[in-house]
Amino acid sequence: MLYESILLSLLSFSLSIVKAGVQRQERHADRLEAAADQYAAEAKAATAGAKEARDAAQRLQHALEAMGFAPKWARAALRVTGREEGAADEHSRRSAALDWLCLHVPLDQMPALLMRVRPISLLNCSGVRGASGASCI
């Protein structure tokens, strides 16, 4: 009888250890499942964000080409300005791309639309003449 009660106690103790292990594994499996769900949601959001960024870049490239820039220059401007951290929204990126294009595209390849604009003088020296009598512009 003593032997049976000791055996029963040992079995009960072993069962409680097994139950605790199973519960621990279930909690671990739940955490893994929650982490997998979170990762899947983040991956889906990142994919959607990447698609939006691609669509925005295509719209900007088409807008630059519609202004008269050659496709190779439009793509180059998007590559360069796409690496900048501050050009997150479309307006900022468009502005940065136009700035880059105006600085890097040779004059003979500039769109006619931009070449019709009269250049401005960086110096405002109207009526000022140098020692030789020539104006400063």
Give the closest residue to 94 by CA, choosing from 66, 57, 68.
Answer: 57
Domain containing 77 equals: 15-102
Inside any domain, residue 22: yes
pTM equals 0.54
Report whether pLDDT(86) > 50.
no
Count CB neighbours of 65 within 10 A.
Answer: 15
Inside any domain, residue 20: yes
- The domain total for the chain is 1
Predicted confidence (pLDDT) per residue in 101-112, tens digit: 999 999 889 988
Inside any domain, residue 110: no
Inside any domain, residue 40: yes
Cα 100 to Cα 78: distance, rounded to the nearest angstrom: 9
Q: What percent of the chain has pLDDT over 70?
A: 80
Predicted confidence (pLDDT) per residue in 73-84, tens digit: 999 999 998 765
Cα 11 to Cα 7: distance, rounded to the nearest angstrom: 6
Give the closest residue to 111 by CA, choosing from 69, 66, 77, 74.
Answer: 69
Inside any domain, residue 111: no
